Structure 1
Amino acid sequence: MDAYLPPEILPYPMVKLTRQLLLAALLSLSSSAVAQDNVEFPPKPPVRPLSPAEAAKTFQLPPGYRLELVLSEPEIVDPVCMAFDGNGRLYVAEMRTYMPDIDGTNQLVPGSRVSVHWSSKNDGVYDQHRIFADNLKLPRLLLPLADGVLIGETDTNDIYLYKDTNGDGVSDEKKQVYQGGPRGGNLEHQPSGLTWANDNWLYTAVNNYRLRWKDGQLIKQDIPGNGGQWGGTQDDDGKFWVVNAGGEKGPLNFQQHILYGQFATRNQFEPGFDVVWPAMGLRDYQGGPGKSRDDDTLNHFTATCGGEIYRGDQLPAELKGNLFFGEPVGRLVRRSTIEVNDGITILHNPYPQNEFLRSTDACFRPVDMKTAPDGTLFIVDMYRGIIQEGNWTREGSYLRKVILQHSMDKIIGRGRIWRLVHETTKPVPAPKLIDASPKELATTLAHPNGWYRDTAQKILVLKQDKSIAPTLTEMVQKHENALARIHALWTLEGLDALTPDIIRSALKDASPQVRRAGIRASESLTDEKLQQDVMALAKDSDPSVVIQVCLTAKLMKWKDHAKFVNLAALGAPSKGVKEIATQILTNSSEFPRELGGTQKEMMHRGQAIYQELCFTCHGLDGKGTAIDGPTGPMLLAPPLSGSKVVMGHRDGLILALLHGVTGPVNGKTFQAQMIPMANNPDEWISDVLSYVRNRFGNAGTFIETKDVARVRKESAARTTPMTEEEIFASAPPVLANRKDWKLATSEKADGLAGCIDGDLKSKWTSEKPLNNGMWLTIELPTEATINGLRFSFSAGGGYLTRNLRVETSADGKAWSKPVYNGGAPTNLTEIAFSPTKARFIKITQTGSGDKRTPWNIHELDITTPRSVMP
């Protein structure tokens, strides 16, 4: 399901993470909206890579700002993310095997690395370089702790702690601290942006879980998927921010902390926020002419990544708290100012028809950003020709022709890291936090640079020295700096030294920001009296505090929390409170009671996949994500709600996900395209498909893992995407001799012919309420090989079948063991089983109805096997 990638798609390995789209991909079935076959590709002069000094001259910034080179090739090659340890050493993940040519040859071989760099003179000049960890497979997770570095690679959820025990800058000890197991899917649809947040949990883009360091291991807790693509960051409140290129919106799910669910509001972006203004034009993105202006410049987000909330102290105050993120296809960095109005967050581009940072260098690829220990902003430049992964550069693709037209496939083996400075920036010595005393670290919690505060808290929690608890408690109660009070509060939580009285102090704080933190921190304690104190803040004068109380009430499942949230919204004059409260009450992850335990587990797993990858293009409601098209609003991908493909035969749906889709859907083309998802496990595919068939108003049969395995095997030779026509034609054929069938039933036999006459308006009905044990038999004129039953019904048809047992026989006397024995929460539309020879089929009800509705069948077909031809 990971599949839907809008055309212009992402720039670089992870960026594409976006089109995560998964389901989208799959069912959506779509093709590029742009008619690119008619585009001509005359020869062009090769794009020439620039030296760092030459590249520095291409940057366009507001007055007073400039970029300084920190690192470049050969010290680093294809850098994708970075992180600083407590002493300011810079760790860089280098995807050295990423897209070494236009086909991505051998890019998954373990030839990448993490390097470390530091200044021998502590003057900000990184003159010492070491290979910290070598022979890695495209490293993507990077987080220094107190005495080691967490590293995660591609195609696995496992995380290891690497240590340098002798201080030479090279790791000599490796220990697995999280066993997540293999991870399939495109390399762009995998986690990134590992961030230690204020609440002492570790968050990543993409994943629908968070991690926590405990006793030398990482423990997992499931949370809603955040929809991010590449990179992650937190603000001063500890809210985790991500960006995603799949929906062409950039930042998403930023209204509230992702722990509480996915929230979005109308007008959360200023008009035109998603329009970009590059300084140079080169159509090396899948959308081609349709995504560019007449001067060939990109006109819309397509590859946003590497977001960072700047929280330093050596750039002008106007930048503090702003969200920065890269658009590597546009060769620019967007600065976004953040406005909170009535509890609603709104993002702005403060440079009308312009950007904060632009370059005329075709190889400038900003993919990650970090607030640095020296108070500035560091920017990772992957600096290369090809930024898209091989799925988008295949033979015949538009992108491949552009790449070859400009010889961009030849520009490899480079990379830079830049430092954003201002004319007011002052030199800052390297930090020394790793060996600092607990008292020194506690003092650092008030530092004006957010990097220092975060790092000091992290080290205090990792060292678990509770002797500092009294000092931290006094800070929560008396420190003049609100941010210091917040960090002290969360540090106590991380030391397991938090008490109800400390929480109460925060709940009474003069700062709404501290009160919000107190409410969140209270979630780690179980105290009914404390709950009453939190509930009292539902009448707080600050809308964001009221919203946080409502979020906590829902998360902690307080008794009658829905009533409480509703009353809080009614009592608040704030429109923001009402809007978020409405979403709190309606964004439910609950599933029908009729679902069995196994099916509920499938739905939960499928929902997690959908929220990680698919909703960006298909929408949380399954109705498709609306974007601005050339002639007005259009859907990024086909709706899943009521989709004929989704509700059609399972084999077609499985084929769409395994092999991708090309061409129009329902006579329309969409801005997204779907790629094959066959590299995901069978269970993954069955989970997400079952989810979409039973969500968004859909009600269909669950797809089993064995069905996916069968279709995968039958279509193994196929190498091209499916068309919509092929998807519909892939359904197993039905027996054509219905007129010769003989039907019998335990109930009223009158009207049995109505379910095999080809007319949905006619039907057979038991007349009596549906009940356990009712049966219907079919005698075929001759023995046939069958593999399923297909039911059709019209609106208002009542119970078709929900729980059935199916048996077969050669003589109508000796019946086989059940070839099918199961059910669904809604009317079954199809039943599948292994091919078997039979002349008699017996269908028995194993459930009951509502004491009023009879067993109705409008149309009944029997399917027979047919191989799926490649």
Structure 2
Amino acid sequence: MRKLYAESPVLTAEQSLESLEVEEGFTVQLVAAEPQVIVPVAMTFDESGRLWVAEMTGYMPDTVGTGEDAPNGRIVILEDTTGDGAIDKRTVFLDSLILPRALCFVENGLLVAEPPRLWYVEVNGDKAGKKTLVDAAYTEGGNVEHQPNGLLRAMDNWIYNAKSSKRYRKMGNRWLKEDTHFRGQWGISQDNYGRLFYNNNSENVLGDYFSPGLGSANPHQRTVDGFNRNIVPDNRVYPIRATPGVNRGYMNGVLDDSLRLVNFTAACGPLVYRGGLYGDAFEGNIFVAEPSANLIKRNIVRDSGYFAKGRQAYKGREFLASTDERFRPVNLHLGPDGAMYVLDMYRGIIQHKTYLTPYLKNEIGVRNLSQPLNCGRIYRVLPKDKKNPQPVQLTADPEKLLAQLDDRNGWVRDKAQQMLVDGHYRQIIPALRARLQQTDRPLGLLHAMWTLEGLQALEMKDIVALLQQPGQQIRSQALAALPSILNAANKAPVLPLLEALATDPQQAPAVAYVLPTLQKTDAVAAARILKTIWQKFPNDRFVADAVISNVKDKEEELFREITAWSADTNLVIRRHLKKVITDISNHRKAKLDEALVKEFPRGNLIFKTICQTCHGADGDGIQSLAPPLNHSEIVTGRKERLIAIVLYGLTGPVEVNGKVYKAPEISGDMPGIIHNDEFSDGDIAQLMSFIRNAWGNKAEKVTEKDILKVKQQYKGREKSFTMEELQ
């Protein structure tokens, strides 16, 4: 098998297109290739159907990342002037960027993510105008693989990110920034109801059951059930070629007997398909890119109540796969023509240097995967019977935009809403309000409601009417929009409706999530409704976490009230609340000692760069990524064991404080850093001394001698450890 794949030829775009195998009934069309586009990683469409693409030209020029900080990234505009589906015009909008990774249109400008900063650049024709710094700390720590991205402008008019707990919104000349749930790793998408879906590199599809603006009112909650859920737990992949060039290909179980990847290792770029072009069977499906295995997976997701659950569409095959090793799909986008667009970096190296193993370095060298660096392709996937669908053109005509809120293509609906909001078309408000009466077409109705919210014209009478509709999704969305308008002057008519919905098992969590806003204007009513909810559903885990989101700094007070109400120690709400109270106690004891930062400056810096993005700034772990370091017996126990883990990595289940963490709850693998030349033994000793004494930890420091001893003990080792080996 290795002889068969000893060489990995660089293919032209036309040759690489021929290497693609796609689902029966579909065809793949080349939209753009080098030199029109180079290393594309993210894109968006304007109202004319043109592609605006972020080119991450500086990513990993070689196995040590030489020149990665060079300002050679660009935002380019790609245009099809002939209507044949192929790009024939390229315009550079913005250049001299360092590793740009996301972009998003807002009003008359473009948000551009260029770590660590988030910029807003005005668009003057096709030229960049005034540049405003929106967030100087858009990314905080992390390396290229572990920094925020996405910039998804969601249905609720806020802009969300993957690998981030921030959301943004432009209000007049101000930029609002708020905390939200931490989500995903690379790429983010929404469904027809504005719920967000994402993943991390080893997990197929993660997502939320509720609207994204809900559920983050209590920062003491480490996790909130109903957010960051594992939607498709099956992580199996089915490449059509050998894929030895994966970072841990040497480990048992990573590759099968034919040297093909077994499970996701670089899942990214999820897309909820809402295009209306592929047929009903594909609506709401979630496609996921896997560049390490040169494929795109299709998942079928269904709702049951507010739950979203999914499965892979096929066993033993994929929606799209390639025999070309350099086919690297890293992002998927829905287009104004209803097609799925595939961004292909087209390169050999996709693993960042921070975690690059000697095994993969060898694979790169043997098959000369370092070159080329100046390629990139964009494809679109079409049904065979729809050869060249044209993109829908949107114009600044509020009446036409109103009609397009009902378009079959979700991209068109989203864009029409955004253009109505950005254009401040207040003359359309009466027509939008009239659209709320047409409940037979719920998708357009929901966009009309959120357009009113974006124009700051949504009124309580609108919400009250929608909360009385029989459709569950209409009621849920009305509840999600309620916090943006609820105040002391307009609360009266909605209170009886909240009281009634509080006893509905399908709506109770969403009702609880809006009560923190009611609490500000009517604490008595909020407390009364909250009590109704937890007494009605004390063993519903989603209700429990929704209730706890209301009681920031009053958790113990609620715990006493529940204890007095029922002696049952196994009530779900009681157990969830007890955990939050314990976490608060641990966190209070875990404030980072500034003297420690001064004592171990390199350790603190490396922690922020490498460890923080998975284990959290407070060391308490991040749901779906990694377990806690704070109060961890693995961190504070035998230093030789911790050194071995940090140097060589850890795979499989790990027990911390009596809880077993394993995939898919967290990523199943932690890479080691022994092969990263950036860090000396002294640096690594500082890192481990830092985490062994940060927050609530207290343990013996680690020295360079300790590091050297462990390196000598395991000289020549490449594979990660398991906890069984280290016991």
- Structure 2-normalised TM-score? 0.77
Residue 194 of structure 2 aligns to a residue whose secondary structure is: coil
Task: Tell me which residue corresponds to 2:163.
Answer: 206
Cα distance, 1:557–1:647 mapped onto 2, change above 3 Å: farther
Distance in 2, Cα, partners of 1:404 & 1:565? 62
CA distance in 2, matches of 1:264, 1:217: 33
User: Aligned in 2, Cα 1:74/1:196: closer, same or farther, shift over 3 Å?
Assistant: same
Alignment-derived partner of residue 508 in structure 2:
546
Conservation of the 8 A alpha-carbon contact between 1:71 and 1:418: yes
| In 2: Cα distance, 1:294 partner to 1:619 partner | 39
8 Å CA contact retained: 2:37, 2:376: yes
Partner of 1:250: 204
Separation in structure 1 between the aligned mates of residue 652 and residue 234 of structure 2, nearest angstrom: 31
1:437 to 391, 397, 417: 397
Q: Secondary structure of the residue that 1:188 maps to in structure 2?
A: helix
SS of residue matched to 1:510 = coil
- AA matched with 2:507: V
User: CA 1:596/1:326 → structure 2, altered by over 3 Å: closer, same or farther?
Assistant: closer
Q: Secondary structure at the match of 1:300?
A: coil
- How many residues matched? 638
Percent identity over paired residues: 28
Q: CA deviation at 1:211?
A: 0.5
Give the match for residue 149 of structure 2: 192
* Equivalent pair of 1:439/1:468 in contact (CA under 8 Å): yes
Q: 1:569, 1:133 → 2: CA distance?
A: 53
For structure 1, the 5+ residue unaligned runs are 1-39, 626-635, 727-870
Q: Which has the larger radius of gyration?
A: 1
Amino acid at match of 2:342: I
Q: Does 1:339 align with 2:299?
A: no
Amino acid at match of 2:422: L
Is 1:405–2:366 an aligned residue pair? yes
SS at structure 1 position matched to 2:462? helix
C-alpha distance 344-579 of structure 1, shift in aligned 2 (>3 A): farther
Q: Residue in 1 aligned with 2:721? A: none
Q: What is the CA-CA distance between 1:551 and the residue it aligns to? A: 2.8
Hey, what's the Cα distance between the residues in 2 that align with 1:640 and 1:280? 39
Counterpart among 465, 488, 494 of residue 425 in structure 2 = 465
Q: RMSD across aligned C-alpha pairs, in angstroms? A: 4.4
Q: CA deviation at 1:296?
A: 0.6
Match of 1:673 in 2: 671
Aligned to 1:88: 49
Superposition map of 1:606-685 within 5 A: 613-614=613-614, 640=629, 642-647=631-636, 660-662=646-648, 671-675=669-673
SS in 2 for 1:399: helix
Paired position in structure 2 for 1:447: 407
Shift of 1:369: 0.8
Alignment partner, residue 65 of structure 2: 104
| TM-superposition CA deviations, 1:828-847 (whole Å, max 9, x none) | xxxxxxxxxxxxxxxxxxxx
Q: 1:712-732 CA deviation, whole Å, 9 max, x = no partner?
A: xx99xx7x9958969xxxxxx
Q: Tell me what 1:67 maps to.
A: 28
Q: How does 1:764-803 map to 2 (within 5 A)?
A: none
TM-aligned CA deviation for residue 668 of structure 1: 9.0
Q: Give the AA of the match of 2:437.
A: Q
Q: Which residue of 1 aligns with 2:178?
A: 221
CA separation of 1:328 and 1:722: change in aligned 2, threshold 3 A: farther
Which among 164, 189, 196 is matched to residue 233 of structure 1? 189
Q: Secondary structure at the match of 2:498?
A: helix
Comparing 407-416 with 190-199, which one deviates more in the overlay?
407-416
Instruction: Measure how far apart 1:535 and its partner are.
Output: 1.9
Task: Choose from 325, 330, 336 the match for 2:288.
Answer: 325
Give the letter aligned to residue 662 of structure 1. Y
Structure-1 separation of matches of 2:80 and 2:146: 35
Q: Distance in 1 between matches of 2:493 and 2:590?
A: 37
The Cα shift of 1:598 comes to 11
8 Å contact from structure 2 (residues 231, 308) kept in 1? no
- Alpha-carbon distance in structure 2 between the residues aligned to 1:595 and 1:54: 56
Partner Cα distance (2:260, 2:484) in 1? 50
**Paired amino acid for 1:673:** P
Counterpart-to-counterpart distance in 1, 2:57 and 2:450: 38
Distance 1:497 1:724 in 2: 67
Counterpart Cα distance in 2 of 1:690 and 1:556: 41
1:537-585: CA deviation from partner (whole Å, max 9, x where unpaired): 53576x5433322333367658486885574366469978668768865
Partner of 1:865: none
Q: Point out the more displaced range, 505-514 or 364-373.
A: 505-514
Structure 1-normalised TM-score?
Answer: 0.65
Q: Distance in 2 between matches of 1:74 and 1:473?
A: 48
Corresponding position: 1:114 with 2:78: no
User: Which residue is 1:359 aligned to?
Assistant: 322
Larger CA deviation: 659-668 vs 169-178: 659-668
3-state DSSP of counterpart to 1:348: strand
Report the alpha carbon displacement of residue 480 of structure 1 after superposing the two structures with TM. Answer: 3.5
Q: Which amino acid aligns with 2:533?
A: A
Give the match for residue 665 of structure 2. Answer: none
Aligned positions of 1:93-172 closer than 5 A: 93-154=54-115, 156-163=116-123, 165=124, 167=125, 169-172=126-129
Do the aligned partners of 2:232 and 2:310 also contact (CA within 8 Å) in 1? no
Corresponding residue number in structure 2 for 1:497: 457
Structure-2 separation of matches of 1:485 and 1:441: 13
Structure 2 counterpart of 1:176, which letter? Answer: L
Question: In structure 1, what residue type is equivalent to 2:295?
Answer: L
